[in-house]
A and B are shown apart, each in its own frame.
Chain A
Amino acid sequence: DSGVTQTPKHLITATGQRVTLRCSPRSGDLSVYWYQQSLDQGLQFLIQYYNGEERAKGNILERFSAQQFPDLHSELNLSSLELGDSALYFCASSAPWDSTDTQYFGPGTRLTVL
């Protein structure tokens, strides 16, 4: 158990809908990262937040957005869902005092868009 929690574990929805994925980082970690893992694209970095502020952006679509709240939990919002958005979405966190900047991953949310 990495200490990173993600909810829900599974999500099934229809095209055109909007969903919110939630992540709670390890206690003390200030950075939260979001990744998308699909069979054909591998592990894609989406976005990073540090202490509430956006720190880095990867291959995140305009239909997707994220935020990190004052209690450091983060939410990833996916809207106008398409079949191709079906994937595993991982959240990871890292500690500001860790010079190795190791990321600790949550168990993921499996999104299925029908």
Chain B
Amino acid sequence: GEDVEQSLFLSVREGDSSVINCTYTDSSSTYLYWYKQEPGAGLQLLTYIFSNMDMKQDQRLTVLLNKKDKHLSLRIADTQTGDSAIYFCAERALKTIFGAGTRLFVKA
């Protein structure tokens, strides 16, 4: 069945790069997304990548897609304390499936 998996926690030091990983199972995925959820707030779309792309860069964010391994990653360069949040990976095939979210802790 369709499934999206992410590690639950990641801790980094301020100024370092963060890499959040995600794996999915549906090879017919068309779009893959990264959402950010800050405490007490709803999910906010950070970026998305079309399934025929390998990489997408947007300022401090870099998304890498390995379609063969069904692996998606989000790299945040120069991580700041304001990046502390839960990051959700999602894939869209016939419907959109969300992962459980990775909680990013940024230590000052």
Question: Is there a chain A Cβ closer than 8 Å to B82's Cβ?
Answer: no
Interface segment among B18-26, B37-45, B57-65, B72-80: the answer is B37-45
Main SS at interface, chain B = strand
Known contacts A42-B101, A43-B101, A101-B31; is A107 also within 8 Å of B42 by CB?
A: yes
State the Cβ distance, A37 to closest chain B Cβ, in Å. 9
What separation, in Å, do the CA atoms of A106 and B41 have in the docked complex? 8
Contact B100–A42 (Cβ < 8 Å): yes
Partner of B96, one of A103, A104, A106: A103
Contact B48–A102 (Cβ < 8 Å): yes
A residues adjacent to B (C-beta < 8 A): 2, 4, 35, 42-43, 45, 48, 56, 90, 92, 100-108
B residues adjacent to A (C-beta < 8 A): 31, 33, 35, 41-45, 48, 50, 88, 92, 95-101
